[in-house]
Amino acid sequence: MIIIMRPDSTDEQINHVVEKLKKHGFGIHLSKGVERTVIGAIGDKSAIELESIQMLPGVSEIVPIRKPYKLVSRELKNTDTIVKISKSLSIGAGRKLAVIAGPCSVESEVGMLEVARLVKKAGAAALRGGAYKPRTSPYSFQGLGKKGLEILKMAGEKTGLPVVTEALDPRDVKLVEKYADVIQIGARNMQNFNLLKEVGKANIPVLLKRGPAAKVEDLLMSAEYIMSEGNHNVILCIRGITTFETATRNTLDLSAVPVIKKLSHLPVVVDPSHGTGKWDLVSAMSKAAVAAGADGLMIEVHPRPDEALSDGPQSLKPDTFAELMKELKLVAQAVGRKA
């Protein structure tokens, strides 16, 4: 870490900083310029909160040299992580583009099986569906809970598709793990750290969605929480971020895909349905996501979107989805990926 002192800092202040750093085991490299003194502190950042240095008298700025994450970092592990979900499905660099599709909420046995068969036929690799739904209004449909998990599992088994579903509450993780092949952590829970710790102890992969106000670095820190508990099978999922633009529900930050690929070895999928909030933007943004290097997509499909209990406006009809799957194949091939 580098400590830049203020132009008017005194020798006493400089010494105070140096002493404090030494006390915490840092090696010191002092550089007195004409205008400023700069202190290099060599050692392990986590030994001391950066913050506590930042506020010592005379300190102008702290520049951390190491990234705050470790296990997720490409500096630690430079080979791309491939997350194995089932015998037939692995997600990651070099693998076939993985499309996870299905309705926002699990609504009924018949409906779920219908969607499962349709997306399977169109080429989806996994089935999604929410049993626990985080809704902004307490008066909106909150999901079928355990019953929803059972229906989803049934639909997955009948079609041979692995299933992805969200856990909202640390108390539900064990149950979700029993029914799902991948536990999803939703955008609103990206910094629900106790939930992250809980899924970090699960034995199945975790799909972690980026929060609407989270920087890429924040997303990586949340993945670090999961990995630090022992579960290294983490798939990152890009959704939209909160901006001033109102033409879309969120702004889908696709540049996060190549940014993450530089910083981390974890696979990245993109959710263009939540990322835009509008079904008629989903096809364009799905193709863009694949061209940008995404390892997979998460797409909402509903046979009758206008009857969906949640997120209808961003759901594709099965025939539009089938059409998109064909187009995606071409784009995937154009960027050198199997599809």
> Which residues in 80-99 contact a second copy (CB under 8 A)?
none
Q: With 0-12 CB in 10 A as exposed, 13-18 as middle and 19+ as buried, what is 275? A: buried
DSSP structure string for 280-299: HHHHHHHHHHHHHT-SEEEE
Tell me whether residue 118 or residue 257 sits nearer to a second copy (CB atom): 257
Tell me whether residue 181 or residue 311 sits nearer to a second copy (CB atom): 311
What is the separation, in whole angstroms, between the first and last Cα of the chain? 44
The piece of 25-33, 109-117, 156-164, 231-239 that touches a second copy (CB under 8 A) is 25-33
What's the Rg (C-alpha) of the chain?
A: 23
Report, in Å, the least distance between residue 109 CB and a second copy: 21
Report, in Å, the least distance between residue 154 CB and a second copy: 25
Tell me whether residue 93 or residue 259 sits nearer to a second copy (CB atom): 259
> What is the contact mask toward a second copy in residues 141 to 170, using x (rule: CB under 8 A)?
x--------------------------xxx
The strands making up 59-63's β-sheet, listed across from edge to edge, are 27-32, 37-42, 2-5, 59-63
What residues between 274 and 293 interact with a second copy by CB under 8 A?
A: 275-276, 279-281, 284-285, 287-293
Beta bridge partners of 91: 83
Report, in Å, the least distance between residue 295 CB and a second copy: 13
Q: Tokens 């939209």, residue? A: 240
Torsion angle (degrees, nearest 10) of CA 276, 279, 280, 283:
80
Asked whether position 76 contacts a second copy by CB under 8 A, the answer is no
What residues between 106 and 135 interact with a second copy by CB under 8 A?
A: 134-135
Q: Tokens 């997720």, residue? A: 72
Report, in Å, the least distance between residue 198 CB and a second copy: 9
Tell me whether residue 171 or residue 178 sits nearer to a second copy (CB atom): 171
